[in-house]
Structures are given as C-alpha cells and as structure tokens.
Amino acid sequence: MPIGYCVYQMPAVQEAPLDYSSNIHDLVQQLHQANPADHRGFLPFLEPLGQNWFKKRYDKYRLVAKLISVPVGHCQVPVVVLVDFLHRADPAYGSGKAVDFEQR
C-alpha cells in the first residue's frame, strides 16, 4: 500500500472557522491516502498557483498550501504544508498568485 503525503497544518489553518474544519479534515485524509508517485508536479484536490503553491476554494475562503520536499534518510518525502486559511478579500491573499505567498 502506497504511503500518502505527509501534511502539516500551520496555526492559521488550525484556527480556521469551525464551519470549515470538517472540510479541511477531509482534505487532509484525502492527501494522506493519495499516492505522491501518481501526482508528480501537482497536488490532487488543489489548484496550482505556481512555484509549488496551491489553493483550495471553500466558498469565500482560500486554503493556501505549499508542497515541499523533506530529506529523510536517503530519500525525499513530499510534505504538504497547509499555510493559511484566508478570506479571498484579505489583503494577505493579494492577487492569489504564488509570488504573493513567497514573501510569507
């Protein structure tokens, strides 16, 4: 059985409105079960923003994620970092492009 993505949630995601906690939990479970070998260069269930940044739309909110590779022993493990949960009008969301998030 393939090992799915490791997922780490930053505090801003852990503190997302309760109405969305089950959606985020479901996404984390889906990522845990997805085979990274089947999704090279993109993440299932999320929209690409460029430079390994992704988003997931939840009504007027955006879950922002970054895919990183972490060395473990002699291999690289793909880790999805759920970085932020922003209202689409939040100035921190900016234009919603990867360039806006690289500064974070």
- Asked whether the CA dihedral 26, 54, 104, 69 is positive or negative, the reply is positive
Query: Which residue type does 13 have?
Result: V
- The tokens for 101 are 């998030």
Query: Which residue type does 86 have?
Result: L
- The tokens for 84 are 């932020």
Calculate the CA 50 to chain-centre distance: 13
Give me the domains of the chain, ranges plus CATH numbers: 6-102 (3.30.2310.20)
Write the pLDDT tens digit of every residue in 60-76: 999 999 999 999 899 88
Write the pLDDT tens digit of every residue in 20-70: 999 999 999 999 999 998 888 789 999 999 899 999 999 999 999 999 999
User: Is this model's pTM higher than 0.85 or not?
Assistant: yes
What CA–CA distance (Å, rounded) separates 11 from 38?
29
